[in-house]
Amino acid sequence: MLALQAAAYPPAFHEARATFAALLALYPAGCLGIFATDEPRRRLCGYAFAHPAHCSAVPPSLHSDDHDWSSGSAHGTSALHYCFYVHDVAVDPVSRGRGLATSLLQALAGTAAHPVLMLTAVLGAARFWERFGFKLVADLDAAALARLETYPGALTPSAAVPRPVVMAAQAAAVLAALHLR
C-alpha cells in the first residue's frame, strides 16, 4: 500500500503506515483494495479509506498523529452533523483509466455510514469528484481552514500543486451518478 501511495502521490502527500493502521482500526468496512488478478502476484492496483466523522473535523490535518477523526468543534448539536469522510482514494498510475476509482467510490457510497459524503480534493482532483455530484464546501470554519492549510498547495498553490478543497455530496446522489455512467 505504501508503494502504491508513493506511485500515486508526490512525497509531500505521503501518509505514515500508522495513519493507515489507524484508519483500518477506526472503520474496517471503509478500507478497500482492488487487486490485479491476471498477474502471478496479486498486485494492489487501488485502495480507498473512508470512515464516519463529525463534519466539523473535516478536513483532518495532513500528517497529524491525532487519529481521532470522529469529533471536532460542533457546527450543531445533532447526529445530522456527521458525515462519511472519504479519506483517500488512490489508483496506481499504470492501472488508471480502467474505472478503478469509480468502482472504489461506488463501494464506499454503497456502504456509507452516513448520508453525506465529504472529502478533501488534492492535486486538482475536484473536477473528477464533481462528475459524481460532489460540490465545494464554501462555509468552512476557522479551525477547518487551519487544518486545510496543512495540505500542500493550500498557502502557495501552483500549476503542479493546486489549492486543496473540501467537497461534499449526498451518498444517494453519488450512487445515482455512478449508475448513469
Give the domain ranges of the chain.
2-180
Query: What global pTM score does this model have?
Result: 0.89
Q: What is the mean pLDDT of the chain?
A: 88
Q: Summarize pLDDT for 123-181 with one digit per residue, the tens.
A: 999 999 999 999 999 889 999 999 999 999 999 999 989 999 999 999 998 988 887 76
Superfamily of domain 2-180: Gcn5-related N-acetyltransferase (GNAT) (3.40.630.30)
Kindly state the average pLDDT of the residues 93-113.
92
Res 149: pLDDT: 95
Return the higher-pLDDT residue of 76 and 105.
105
The confidence band for 76, taking pLDDT boundaries of 50, 70 and 90, is very low
In angstroms, what CA-CA distances link 81 with 4, 31, 60, 137? 33, 22, 16, 14
Burial class (CB in 10 A: 0-12, 13-18, 19+), 58: buried
Amino acid at 29: A
Res 26: pLDDT: 87
Q: Is the pLDDT of residue 73 over 60?
A: no
The confidence band for 69, taking pLDDT boundaries of 50, 70 and 90, is low
